[in-house]
């Protein structure tokens, strides 16, 4: 099947994240990983989008959330791009879906009195692929 998530995909995603975590001297918080598929490149073929968290970089209590986009080449996933989208003292993000060629995320941003553990200001954002890179489209607070 050429569309959607395939059994071997987990192996390729795990390998990609493990290599990055090793470079950062941290480890993935595997339980927070979320995977969705959808067309981001306007070609009618779904890409695989992964939200993942690497924590404990260099023995710290830091955590960084990333989004990676994988494309299917010769039947196997291949990383296209990735970027950090949240983390401790930045914002929290939750991957919702891919719709209308955009990655949709709910966000929790920091209010003026929020501790670094606990952002409380709800919002939404989206990312699109532009020139093979992710670009944030909007940030807005929700009530």
Q: What is the pTM of this model?
A: 0.89
CB 140 within 8 A of CB 123: yes
pLDDT tens readout for residues 22-33: 999 999 999 999
What is the pairing mode between strands 47-55 and 63-73? antiparallel
Q: What is the mean pLDDT of residues 126-137?
A: 94
- Look at residue 4 and tell me if it is in a domain: no
Residue 91 included in any domain: yes
What is the residue range of 67's domain?
9-141
Any bridge partners for residue 126, and if so which?
104, 138
**Domains of the chain: total:** 1
Residue 50 half-sphere exposure toward CB, CA atoms < 13 A:
27
Sign of the Cα torsion 130, 77, 43, 100 reads negative
Asked whether residue 140 carries a pLDDT value surpassing 90, the answer given is no
Residues 6+ away with beta carbon under 8 Å from 86: 64, 65, 92, 93, 107
pLDDT classification of 43: cutoffs 50, 70, 90: confident
Residue 1 lies in a domain: no
Written as six digits, the tokens of 117 are 């553990």
Query: What pLDDT digit, counting tens, does each position of 60-109 carry?
Result: 999 999 999 999 888 889 999 999 999 998 999 999 999 999 999 999 99
Question: pLDDT digits over 51-73, tens only?
Answer: 999 999 999 999 999 999 999 88
């Amino acid at each position: 099947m050429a569309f959607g998530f395939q059994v071997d995909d987990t192996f390729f995603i795990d390998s990609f994240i493990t290599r990055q975590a090793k470079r950062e001297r941290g480890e993935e918080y595997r339980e927070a990983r979320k995977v969705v598929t959808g067309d981001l490149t306007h070609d009618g073929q779904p890409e695989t989008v992964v939200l993942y968290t690497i924590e404990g970089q260099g023995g710290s209590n830091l955590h960084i959330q990333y989004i990676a986009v994988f494309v299917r080449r010769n039947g196997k996933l291949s990383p296209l791009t990735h970027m950090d989208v949240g983390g401790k003292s930045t914002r929290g993000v939750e991957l919702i879906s891919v719709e209308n060629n955009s990655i949709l995320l709910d966000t929790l941003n920091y209010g003026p009195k929020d501790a670094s553990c606990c952002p409380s200001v709800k919002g939404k954002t989206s990312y699109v692929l532009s020139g093979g890179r992710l670009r944030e489209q909007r940030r807005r607070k929700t009530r």
